[in-house]
Amino acid sequence: MSTGSPVGSHRVVSPAGSLPQAADRLDPDPEIKDDEVRVSVERLNLDAASFRQLHTKHGGDGDAVRAEVLAIIEARGKMQNPVTGSGGMLIGTVDAVGPRSPLGLKPGQKIATLVSLTLTPLRITDRLERWDGSSEQVPAQGTAILFGRSIAAPIPEDMPEELALAVFDVCGAPALVRRVVSRRYHSAPTVAVLGAAGKSGSLSLAAAKDARAAKVVAVVRDEIEAAQMRRLGLADKIAVADATDPLHLAREVNEALHGRGADVTVVCVDVPGCEHGAILSTATGGTVVFFSMATSFPQAALGAEGLAADVEMLIGNGYVPGHADYALHLMNAHPRLKELFNTRIGGRH
Ligand code: NAP
């Protein structure tokens, strides 16, 4: 048994020299190197932006969505949507652990991978036949490979797997929001969360509250989501606006904050086109956290320049130390968050 590269470069088929995330194709061979772990896959969680793109492209035809997901995995040796570039994550049972694996996992352990599917070698063996193509969560059978530098978390025993998977998928958002809000501002910052009724959005609201933001504004797209926000009880103000309509969005955020932009704006919407609205909604000297994978770097950078907006812009790195535990802590602290997640896990029809 030979040792692999801790970052998985030995699994890259093409283009040579790239890291797994940027690769077109990975080798998903279930045979492991002595620092790898093989996981017996039970469920994939497709990233929201990726699932929405596929669902929209196929007009809601679940069979067509399933066929395309299978075709992507077979062609690429991983689940990375070629349009959105995003993946998701998975849960499964540890099947084999190489003797030099540093991850501390044991065969038989039920885990969620906390590294993206975009760099996880994946082979599907059941043609996804138990999935109707209508939800982000995909019951699946197959194998996935973790490298020396991958991360994984045991599934908590007191939480249903589907819920844990959905929470872990977006757990980078609340941890980053806590970090940004807790920075030493001269006074506690105001926070606006776009897409607040979604998974990363609602966790971000909870994190902003937990980090003692001065005021938290939940921006949602319609009255149904506004009612969900009232029930959740984590926002000081609720604004209904289309996050892709920059002027309307900025007006609503300003109104909620008595004529000022937000000190911190968090973009958790799963559709493209929110960059300019987020920038316009942010106070001078404030920070925009782009957690959404549908964010365009040129739109954000050129948009801020074109608006002469002096704002800091952060890409929502999905990894922040302690992110999984922090997200679980928030879920346990707010039972209504669990309710909201459970309503979202059901699927898009
Ligand atoms: P989600 O649960 O589907 O939430 C998205 C929310 O945005 C939903 O409430 C949705 O409303 C709302 N929305 C959609 N279009 C809108 C619009 N035009 N105006 C206002 N609100 C709108 O998604 P999620 O799982 O939290 O993911 C959010 C984003 O984070 C995605 O882009 C995903 O790819 C990204 N993500 C990033 C990372 C990372 O590491 N950075 C990790 C995971 C996910 P409806 O449901 O009514 O459409």
pTM (predicted TM-score): 0.91
Q: Cα-flanking dihedrals φ and ψ of residue 248, to 5°? A: -65, -45
- Mean pLDDT computed over 268-287: 97
Would 9-158 and 172-347 be classified into the same CATH topology? yes
How does the average pLDDT of the chain come out, rounded? 95
Ligand 1 centroid vs 169 CA: distance in angstroms? 12
Q: What percent of the chain has pLDDT over 70?
A: 98
Q: pLDDT by residue (tens digit) across 90-142? A: 999 999 999 999 999 999 999 999 999 999 999 999 999 999 999 999 999 99
Ligand 1 centroid vs 343 CA: distance in angstroms? 15
- Mean pLDDT computed over 5-22: 95
Q: What is the DSSP string of 116-167?
A: -GGGS-EEESSTTTT--SSSSEEEEEEEEEE-TT--EEEPPTTS-HHHHHHH
What is the CB < 6 Å shell around ligand 1? 47-49, 86, 169-170, 172, 195, 197-201, 221, 225, 242-244, 268-271, 291-294, 316, 318, 344
**Domain spanning 9-158: CATH 3.90.180:** yes
Ligand 1 centroid vs 262 CA: distance in angstroms? 19
Q: Where are the beta strands (DSSP E) in 125-189?
A: 137-146, 152-154
Are 42 and 140 in contact, with CB atoms under 8 Å apart?
yes
User: In the chain, where are the structural domains located?
Assistant: 9-158, 172-347
Instruction: Kindly report the protein residue whose alpha carbon is nearest to atom 40 of ligand 1.
Output: 318
Reading the block at residue 109, the tokens are: 């352990």
- Mean pLDDT computed over 162-177: 94
Per the CATH hierarchy, to which homologous superfamily does domain 172-347 belong? Medium-chain alcohol dehydrogenases, catalytic domain (3.90.180.10)
Q: pLDDT by residue (tens digit) across 204-245? A: 999 999 999 999 999 999 999 999 999 999 999 999 999 999
Helical H segments across the chain, by residue range: 48-57, 62-76, 161-169, 172-182, 199-210, 223-232, 246-256, 275-280, 297-306, 323-333, 335-345
Reading the block at residue 332, the tokens are: 């346990």
